[in-house]
Amino acid sequence: MDILYKIFIDPFMQMGQAPDLLVQTLWEGLVAGVLYSLIALGFVLIFKASGVFNFAQGIMVVFAALTLVGLYALLGRWGLPAGHLTAFIALGLTIGVMFALAVAVERLILRPLVNQPDIILFMATFGLTYLLIGMGQIVFGGESKVMIAEELYLPRGAIDFKLAGGFVSLQKIDIAAAIIASVMVATLAIFFQRTRIGRALRAVADSHMAALSVGISLEQIWVVVWFAAGIVALTTGIMWGARSEVSFALEIIALKALPVLILGGFTSIPGAIVGGLIIGIGEKLGEFYWGPLLGSGIESWLAYVIALLFLLYRPQGLFGERIIERI
Amino acid sequence: MRSPTGNEIAAGEVILAVENVSLAFGGVKAVSDISFDIRKGEIRAIIGPNGAGKTSMLNVINGFYTPQQGRITYKGQTRAKMRPHEAAIGGIARTFQNVALFRGMTALDNIMAGRSLKMRSNLFWQLLRYGPAMTEEVEHRRRVEDIIEFLEIAHIRKVPVGVLPYGLQKRVELGRALAMEPDLLLLDEPMAGMNLEEKEDMSRYILDVNNFYGTTIALIEHDMGVVMDLSDRVVVLDYGRKIADGTPDEVKRDRAVIDAYLGVAH
């Protein structure tokens, strides 16, 4: 009885007794969820347009953030004054680098592998992952760096307000991240569903051969989609980097996108968002209220358990396209 | 209707000429030394037993395969190699033997995808889905609705094509090809796996497309009755070689053709 009480009653009593802590936990979960969503969004973009699970999406986040910080430092060494202008020049250059990366991926990896089975392309993204890790370490070094958040006009500090006798503290950077992510998601969702290029992206995902026959250029589509994924990666890198620091450890966190995708469906942009939020909030609530029962640390695996349960009952995810195979 | 590339070809003139084309996969010769032509406005059939190289021939024409030897002249321009999306830009549309649709998309979206090349608004407007992008979307949607009406598939407009029965999938695929407003339409076994009624419907659509829009059609088909009724001229392949070429009546009486189809005593 005691254990049932601790699982089913005690946590909710705690929530009721200290609503400020509950709100704070929910907020933390929401913010983590937004960042998971952003990473998952990068995966969804490439999966929708090429049917490939891009294992390199996580490292692209790190790579983009490192490039931005590295270029800012380099420009400083060349004599540009530290500050907003230099930061935005560095941002522009980084966008250029992400475009170059998209073109290179298309030329060197995707084009030679046209019409190959998906698993081959998936393996190729593993190769890309390790290439980017190696290149990143050679060029920028392995140590952690500080994101140039202030130079990019990202707000700092927190908004505190009183709630039910306690305090809730919202980081401004987190609010900014949530707003930027929402705008990005809305734009991409409409783009995919309702426009020519969006339709072409989905067409390429379904059948390379048929897409070619109606005059869709695979090369162009792949560059567009990898570039878009690169921009999403850069945004994620900036936001996440501003909260903690820019290091290769981010790549591990990026794997959290996997349960998010299973939950939301691999082909759905809204799914990536909702999945990210559920995982983020679920994780924080679980850790804070139920974690002590299991000696804490459940944050690192809870997401995967949720994903596993989903796989059993709804393998296409919450919003995934249900493709029925006719035999 | 006119594509930006290539010269104007009058009806009855050669729109596509294949000369001495050979194609091999490793040691296997799919097509050897084949020549024939397609005239503007006609329905040209390519027939032959299984493995005769018919589909390979279509794949050469629309650029999926590059032949090792031979020349292809399309709209007066001779080329050794053409990429599939360049063929599409030049006005060649096609359907596939085993139906290659965008399975996760609705019938409407599939056919809209066929208009990709006709739509011009840039990425910026598309991201906003406003201004030129919106006007364009509406205009093309109107054309697509005409095609949907013509093919009598209005009732399945919003259905994901993956769940449609085979006969309707074939019709959607034809619709997608028609949306390209092609000058040359390649149909790879448009009636495979259909019952009699569906075959009659499909035959009617093919004839109507040819009559109303003047679209040149090259088709592969196994049903001899259909081929003889529909086509103006027939080319017969066997083991990758051309064994006959002429009107349906000529081909029907050809000794080599009869031997290829019925077998021959040695």
> Model confidence over B58-94: pLDDT tens digits?
999 988 888 888 889 988 888 777 788 888 988 999 9
B176–A216 C-beta distance less than 8 A: no
User: What would the two tokens of residue A290 be?
Assistant: 């139920």
ipTM: 0.79
Whether B61 and B190 share a structural domain:
yes
Residue B96 in any domain: the answer is no
Counting the structural domains of chain B, the total is: 2
Instruction: Provide the mean pLDDT of chain B.
Output: 85
Tell me the pLDDT tens digit for each residue of B113-124. Answer: 888 877 766 556
Tell me the pLDDT tens digit for each residue of A315-324. Answer: 777 776 655 4
Whether B30 and B86 share a structural domain:
yes
Which residues in chain B touch residue A267, judged by CB atoms under 8 angstroms apart?
104
Residue to test with chain A: of B85, B117, B178, most A Cβ within 10 A = B85
Tell me the pLDDT tens digit for each residue of A187-213. Answer: 887 777 777 888 888 888 778 788 888
Whether B192 and B79 share a structural domain:
yes
Question: At residue A307, does pLDDT exceed 90?
Answer: no
Percent of chain A with pLDDT over 70: 97
Question: At residue A296, does pLDDT exceed 60?
Answer: yes
Question: At residue A68, does pLDDT exceed 90?
Answer: yes
Question: At residue B131, does pLDDT exceed 70?
Answer: no
Which residues in chain B touch residue A111, judged by CB atoms under 8 angstroms apart?
none
Whether B85 and B3 share a structural domain:
yes
Say if B164 is an interface residue toward chain A (CB within 8 Å).
no
Instruction: Identify the domain boundary among B181, B213, B228.
Output: B181
A224–B64 C-beta distance less than 8 A: no
Q: Which candidate from B89, B116, B177 shows the least CB-CB separation from A196?
A: B116
Whether B78 and B112 share a structural domain:
no
Residue B6: per-residue pLDDT: 45
Residue to test with chain B: of A191, A208, A214, most B Cβ within 10 A = A214
Which residues in chain A touch residue B82, judged by CB atoms under 8 angstroms apart?
none
Question: At residue A235, does pLDDT exceed 50?
Answer: yes
A198–B123 C-beta distance less than 8 A: no
Residue B202: per-residue pLDDT: 92
Instruction: Identify the domain boundary among B148, B181, B214.
Output: B181
Residue to test with chain B: of A48, A195, A209, most B Cβ within 10 A = A195
Whether B171 and B186 share a structural domain:
no
CB pairs below 8 Å between A and B: how many? 106
| pLDDT bucket at A266, cuts 50 / 70 / 90 | confident
Mean pLDDT of A57-73: 91
Tell me the pLDDT tens digit for each residue of B162-188. Answer: 889 888 999 999 999 999 999 999 999
B113–A191 C-beta distance less than 8 A: no
Residue B130: per-residue pLDDT: 64
B114–A214 C-beta distance less than 8 A: yes
Residue A31: per-residue pLDDT: 87
CA distance A270 to A90: 31
Instruction: Give strand ranges (E) for chain A.
Output: 158-163, 166-171
Say if B137 is an interface residue toward chain A (CB within 8 Å).
yes
Q: Which candidate from A199, A213, A216 shows the least CB-CB separation from B112?
A: A199
B102–A191 C-beta distance less than 8 A: no
Amino acid at A245: E
Written as one string, the DSSP assignment of B101-166 is --TTSBHHHHHHHTTGGG----HHHHHHT-THHHHHHHHHHHHHHHHHHHTT-GGGTTSBGGGS-H
CA distance A248 to A142: 7
Q: Which candidate from B96, B103, B117 shows the least CB-CB separation from A215?
A: B117
Q: Which candidate from B113, B116, B129 shows the least CB-CB separation from A194?
A: B129
Closest alpha carbon to A46 in A268, A232, A229: A229
Mean pLDDT of A162-184: 83
| pLDDT bucket at B3, cuts 50 / 70 / 90 | very low
Whether B66 and B198 share a structural domain:
yes
Domain boundaries, chain A: 34-250, 256-322
Question: At residue A252, does pLDDT exceed 90?
Answer: no
Closest chain B C-alpha to A193 CA, distance in angstroms? 10
Question: At residue B33, does pLDDT exceed 80?
Answer: yes
Say if A208 is an interface residue toward chain B (CB within 8 Å).
no
Instruction: Identify the domain boundary among B163, B181, B199.
Output: B181
Instruction: Tell me whether residue A19 is exposed, middle or buried, using C-beta atoms within 10 angstroms of its C-beta: 0 to 12, 13 to 18, 19 or more.
Output: middle
Closest chain B C-alpha to A183 CA, distance in angstroms? 12
Q: Which candidate from A196, A198, A209 shows the least CB-CB separation from B100?
A: A209
Which residues in chain B touch residue A325, judged by CB atoms under 8 angstroms apart?
162
Say if B65 is an interface residue toward chain A (CB within 8 Å).
no
Written as one string, the DSSP assignment of B155-221 is GGTTSBGGGS-HHHHHHHHHHHHHHT--SEEEEESTTTT--HHHHHHHHHHHHHHHHHH--EEEEE-
Minimal-distance CA residue of chain A relative to B114 = A214
A214–B176 C-beta distance less than 8 A: yes
Whether B163 and B222 share a structural domain:
no
Whether B3 and B85 share a structural domain:
yes
Residue to test with chain A: of B95, B109, B110, B116, most A Cβ within 10 A = B116
| pLDDT bucket at A268, cuts 50 / 70 / 90 | confident
Residue B198 in any domain: the answer is yes
Minimal-distance CA residue of chain B relative to A225 = B123
Residue B134: per-residue pLDDT: 74
Say if A306 is an interface residue toward chain B (CB within 8 Å).
no
Residue B1: per-residue pLDDT: 41
Residue B46: per-residue pLDDT: 93
Instruction: Give Cα separations from A291 to A76, A295, A298, A300 (angstroms).
Output: 46, 6, 6, 11
Residue B126: per-residue pLDDT: 62
Which residues in chain A touch residue B160, judged by CB atoms under 8 angstroms apart?
321, 323
| pLDDT bucket at A128, cuts 50 / 70 / 90 | very high
Question: Is A300:A312 a contact under the CB 8 Å cutoff?
Answer: no
Residue A80: per-residue pLDDT: 82
Residue A320: per-residue pLDDT: 67
Minimal-distance CA residue of chain A relative to B98 = A210
Residue to test with chain B: of A213, A222, A268, most B Cβ within 10 A = A213
User: What would the two tokens of residue B93 be?
Assistant: 């549309």
Residue B192: per-residue pLDDT: 85
Which residues in chain B touch residue A212, judged by CB atoms under 8 angstroms apart?
64, 84-85, 88
Amino acid at B118: K
B96–A213 C-beta distance less than 8 A: yes
Instruction: Provide the mean pLDDT of chain A.
Output: 84
Residue A327: per-residue pLDDT: 41
Percent of chain B with pLDDT over 70: 91
| pLDDT bucket at A253, cuts 50 / 70 / 90 | confident
Whether B70 and B126 share a structural domain:
no
Range of the domain at B176: 101-181
Mean pLDDT of A50-59: 84
For the entire predicted model, the pTM comes to 0.76
A203–B113 C-beta distance less than 8 A: yes
CATH number for the domain that contains residue B223 = 3.40.50.300
Give the helix/strand (H/E) hosting A226.
Answer: helix A218-243
Closest alpha carbon to B219 in B48, B66, B34, B25: B48
B123–A267 C-beta distance less than 8 A: no
A202–B105 C-beta distance less than 8 A: yes
* Dihedral Cα A174, A178, A183, A189, nearest 10 deg: 140
CA distance A51 to A120: 11
Whether B197 and B85 share a structural domain:
yes
Residue B258: per-residue pLDDT: 84
CA distance B59 to B63: 6
Tell me the pLDDT tens digit for each residue of A72-106. Answer: 999 988 888 888 899 999 999 999 999 999 999 99
